[in-house]
C-alpha cells in the first residue's frame, strides 16, 4: 500500500504524544453544556480552518486580498457532482484536464505549472505533491465539504511554498451535531456513485465524524474508465479553552489513461483513445493522518501545533512501460496567535514555524529527499476603526538530497533559501464598502523531480521568485454584491519544462527543466451578484489576463495556455415549493496551446460550457438532475505543443447525472 513503517511509526508517535498532552491538560478543564460546546466548536472551526481569510463567517472581511467563499448552500444549489465542475469559473479559476483529473490554474499559469503554483489545502493540510504530479482532488467528495475558500493572488508569507497564483482551501464538515446522510447517483458513461457520512456527539466535549465514498465510470473517452473509493474518520475534543482532533483518510483511485490525440484524430472522433496507449493506467493510493492541539492560554494568546503525515503510492503503465513512485510527507506546524484589543480595534498577530520532510522514490533509479523549513510572522494592525494595515515576512530554506542513476549517479546535495515580505492596507468606511491595496513577494522551490532533469551545466534550479501588486473594491448593499480586483504579477526564474532545451547527460528523452525568462501577468477580475427576489438570484463574472514574456527571445509573446478573456454567468430560481433550477454558462477565450511559447501555431478556439441542474428537496429527502455541457460543445481541455505534432486532450461531452439523497 506504499506505507513506510519507520516514518509512519514516527508520525503515529507524534500524534499519540499530542493526544496524551491533550488528555492530561483537559483533565482539569471545566466542561460546558452541549449547546455551548456547539457554539464554541463553530467559532474554533472557523478560526482554525479558515486559514485563507482568518475570520469568522459572520464578521467583516479584514484582509487585503481578493477572497471568495463557496458555502454549503451554493454547493447544493449548483448540483455539481465533483470539485472540478464546482470550481470552474469561480475566482478566476481556469480548469484543465488531460483525462486524468482536473487541474486548477489561477493568475495566468499553464496547466502543467498550475499544479506547482496553486496551493490546495484540505482543512489547512497541503494536498500538493512534493513532485510535479498534480494533486488528486478526486480524493475529496462533495458530501464531505462544508465550504471552499478561494484566495486569488500570491500569499507566500502565510502559506509558504507554491502559494503564487492563489490558494484554494477546502473545509470539510465538522462533527457539531448528531446525524448523517446517504446519497446514490448514476448517469452518462455508466457512472455510479454512493456516498455517505455520519456525525455524532459522544458527550459535552467529544465528537466524531465518518464519511465514505465509492464511484466508478467509463467516462467520455474510450479506455478512460476509473474507479475511486475514499474514507475519512475524525475524532474531536473541544472545550472553551482547548481543541484537539485526530483524523485518518484513505483514498484509492485507478484510472485508464487514453493518451493524447493528433489534430486529425480529434476532428475525426474526440472520444477515441490513442492506439499507442491501449492498456495504460494510473493507480494512486494515499493514506493521510493528521492531528492537532490548540490551547487558549489566556484572553490574548492561543498556542497550538498541527502534525500531518501522508503516504502515497503510484503505480502506472505508460506507453507500454511500467513505473512506480512512492511519496511520503511529514509536516509539523506549531504556531501562536494573539489578539489584542486596542483603542482603534483588534490587533492580530500570527507567528509560526513550518517543517516539511518529503521523499519521493521512483522505480527508474531516481530519488530525492527534500527538507523545507521556514518561519513567518504576520500582523494586522488597526490604525483607526476603519483603516488597518497588514505586514509580514517569511524566511525559508530547502535542502535536497538527490540521486538519479543517469544524471547524478553518485548523488548531490542542494541547499537554497528565499524570503518574502508583504504589506497591505484595508479600508472599510462602512459595512457596504471595502477598499484594499497589497504588495506581496512570492517564491517557490523546484520540486523533487524538477531538480533531477536539467540541461548540462545546470546544477540545481534557482528558486522561482516574484512580486505581486493588487488593489480592489468590494461593495455589498441590500440585494447587490460587487467585487473588482486589479493585479500585476511579475516573475523571474520561473521553473518550467522546456521541450527544446538540451537534455541532461545520460537523459532518456529530449527537453529539460529550466529557469525561464522573466514574465509579467496583469489583469482585472470582476464579479456581480444580485438577489432580485427571495426566489431569484443572478450573477456574472469576468476575468481579463494579459500574460507575456518580458525578456529573452520570446519577449512580447503571450504565455501559452492562458486565455485572455474568461467569464461566467448564472441564474438560480426557486420556481415552486421544494423545486429550484440552476443554470450557468462558462466562457473560456482563445489561447495558444501549452508550450507554444513562440506563438507559432494558430490559437485554440474559444468555447462556452452550459450546465443546468434541477433540484428538489422535501424534509430529509433531496434529488438533483444535472446536465454538464448541455449543448455537447467540443473543446480542448488540455494540449501540449510539439514541432513534430502537438497532442490534444478533448474535454468531456454532454454528461447527465441523477442524484437522490436522504439526511437523518
> Is the model's pLDDT at 435 over the cut of 70?
yes
Q: Are strands 206-217 and 166-172 parallel, antiparallel or unpaired?
A: unpaired
CB 542 within 8 A of CB 569: no
**HEC profile of 76-98:** HHHCCCCHHHHHCCHHHCEEEEC
pLDDT recorded at residue 123? 84
- List pLDDT tens digits, range 217-271: 999 999 999 999 999 999 999 999 999 999 999 999 999 999 999 999 999 999 9
> Is the model's pLDDT at 17 over the cut of 50?
no
Average pLDDT over residues 180-204: 95
- List pLDDT tens digits, range 622-636: 999 999 999 999 999
503 or 475, which is more confident? 475
Within 10 Å of residue 300's Cβ, how many Cβ atoms?
13
> Is the model's pLDDT at 57 over the cut of 50?
no
- List pLDDT tens digits, range 118-168: 999 988 788 888 888 888 888 788 888 889 999 999 888 988 888 999 999
Residue among 323, 337, 246 at smallest CA distance from 282: 323
Binned at pLDDT 50, 70 and 90, residue 62 comes out as low
Would the pTM count as exceeding 0.85?
yes
Q: Which residues pair with 255 in a beta bridge?
A: 226, 282
> Grid coordinates in use for 593?
496551446
Quickly list DSSP for 255-286: EE----B-HHHHHH-TTPPPGGGTT-EEEEEE
pLDDT recorded at residue 185? 96
> Is the model's pLDDT at 30 over the cut of 80?
no
With cell 533559501, the residue in question is 417
For the chain, percent of residues with pLDDT exceeding 90: 70
Burial of 363 (C-beta count, 10 Å sphere; 0-12/13-18/19+): middle
pLDDT recorded at residue 92? 86
Binned at pLDDT 50, 70 and 90, residue 464 comes out as very high
498 or 265, which is more confident? 265
pLDDT recorded at residue 32? 38
Amino acid at each position: 500500500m506504499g506505507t513506510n513503517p519507520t516514518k509512519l511509526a514516527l508520525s503515529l508517535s507524534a500524534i499519540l504524544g499530542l493526544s496524551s498532552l491533550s488528555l492530561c491538560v483537559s483533565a482539569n478543564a471545566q466542561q460546558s453544556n452541549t449547546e455551548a460546546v456547539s457554539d464554541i466548536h463553530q467559532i474554533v472551526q472557523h478560526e482554525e480552518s479558515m486559514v485563507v481569510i482568518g475570520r469568522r463567517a459572520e464578521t467583516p472581511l479584514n484582509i487585503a486580498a481578493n477572497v471568495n467563499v463557496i458555502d454549503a448552500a451554493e454547493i447544493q444549489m449548483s448540483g455539481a457532482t465533483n470539485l472540478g465542475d464546482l470550481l470552474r469559473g469561480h475566482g478566476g479559476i481556469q480548469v484543465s484536464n488531460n483525462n486524468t483529473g482536473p487541474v486548477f490554474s489561477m493568475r495566468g499559469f499553464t496547466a502543467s505549472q498550475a499544479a506547482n503554483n496553486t496551493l490546495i489545502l484540505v482543512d489547512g493540510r497541503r494536498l500538493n505533491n512534493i513532485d510535479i504530479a498534480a494533486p488528486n482532488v478526486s480524493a475529496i467528495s462533495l458530501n464531505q465539504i462544508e465550504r471552499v475558500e478561494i484566495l486569488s493572488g500570491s500569499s507566500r508569507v502565510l502559506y509558504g511554498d507554491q502559494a503564487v497564483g492563489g490558494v484554494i482551501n477546502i473545509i470539510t464538515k465538522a462533527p457539531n451535531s448528531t446525524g448523517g446522510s446517504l446519497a446514490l447517483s448514476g448517469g452518462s458513461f455508466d457512472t455510479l456513485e454512493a456516498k455517505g457520512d455520519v456525525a455524532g456527539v459522544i458527550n459535552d466535549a467529544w465528537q466524531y465524524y465518518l464519511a465514505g465514498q465509492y464511484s466508478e465510470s467509463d467516462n467520455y473517452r474510450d479506455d478512460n474508465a476509473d474507479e475511486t473509493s475514499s474514507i475519512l474518520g475524525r475524532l474531536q475534543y473541544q472545550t472553551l479553552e482547548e481543541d484537539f482532533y485526530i483524523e485518518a483518510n484513505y483514498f484509492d483511485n485507478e484510472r485508464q489513461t487514453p493518451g493524447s490525440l493528433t489534430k486529425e484524430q480529434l476532428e475525426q472522433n474526440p472520444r477515441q483513445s490513442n492506439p499507442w496507449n491501449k492498456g495504460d493506467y494510473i493507480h494512486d493510493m494515499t493514506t493521510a493522518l493528521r492531528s492537532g492541539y490548540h490551547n487558549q492560554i489566556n484572553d490574548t494568546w492561543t498556542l497550538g501545533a498541527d502534525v500531518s503525515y501522508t503516504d502515497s503510492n503510484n503505480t502506472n503503465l505508460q506507453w507500454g512501460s511500467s513505473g512506480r513512485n512512492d511519496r511520503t510527507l511529514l509536516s509539523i506546524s506549531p504556531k501562536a496567535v494573539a489578539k489584542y484589543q486596542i483603542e482603534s480595534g483588534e490587533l492580530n498577530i500570527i507567528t509560526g514555524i513550518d517543517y516539511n520532510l518529503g521523499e519521493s522514490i521512483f522505480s527508474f533509479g531516481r530519488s530525492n529527499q527534500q527538507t523545507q523549513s521556514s518561519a513567518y510572522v504576520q500582523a494586522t494592525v488597526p490604525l483607526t476603526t476603519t483603516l488597518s494595515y497588514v505586514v509580514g515576512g517569511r524566511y525559508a530554506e530547502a535542502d535536497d538530497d538527490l540521486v538519479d542513476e543517469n544524471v547524478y549517479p553518485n548523488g548531490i546535495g542542494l541547499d537554497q533559501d528565499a524570503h518574502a515580505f508583504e504589506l497591505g492596507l484595508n479600508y472599510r468606511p462602512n459595512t457596504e464598502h471595502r477598499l484594499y491595496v497589497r504588495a506581496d513577494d512570492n517564491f517557490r522551490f523546484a520540486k523533487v523531480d524538477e531538480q533531477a532533469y536539467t540541461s548540462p551545466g545546470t546544477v540545481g534550479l534557482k528558486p522561482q521568485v516574484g512580486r505581486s501588486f493588487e488593489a480592489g473594491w468590494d461593495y455589498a448593499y441590500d440585494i447587490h454584491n460587487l467585487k473588482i480586483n486589479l493585479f500585476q504579477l511579475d516573475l523571474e526564474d520561473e521553473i518550467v519544462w522546456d521541450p527544446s532545451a538540451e537534455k541532461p547527460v545520460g537523459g532518456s528523452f529530449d527537453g529539460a527543466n529550466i529557469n525561464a525568462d522573466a514574465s509579467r501577468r496583469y489583469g482585472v477580475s470582476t464579479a456581480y451578484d444580485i438577489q432580485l427576489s427571495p426566489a431569484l438570484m443572478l450573477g456574472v463574472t469576468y476575468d481579463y489576463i494579459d500574460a507575456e514574456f518580458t525578456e529573452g527571445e520570446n519577449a512580447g509573446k503571450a504565455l501559452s495556455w492562458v486565455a485572455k478573456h474568461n467569464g461566467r454567468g448564472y441564474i438560480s430560481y426557486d420556481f415552486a415549493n421544494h423545486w429550484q433550477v440552476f443554470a450557468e454558462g462558462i466562457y473560456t477565450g482563445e489561447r495558444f496551446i501549452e508550450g507554444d511559447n513562440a506563438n507559432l501555431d494558430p490559437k485554440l478556439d474559444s468555447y462556452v460550457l452550459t450546465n443546468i441542474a434541477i433540484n428538489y428537496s422535501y424534509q430529509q429527502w433531496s434529488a438533483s438532475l444535472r446536465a454538464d455541457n448541455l449543448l455537447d460543445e467540443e473543446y480542448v481541455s488540455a494540449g501540449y505543443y510539439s514541432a513534430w505534432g502537438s497532442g490534444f486532450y478533448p474535454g468531456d461531452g454532454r454528461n447527465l447525472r441523477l442524484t437522490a439523497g436522504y439526511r437523518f
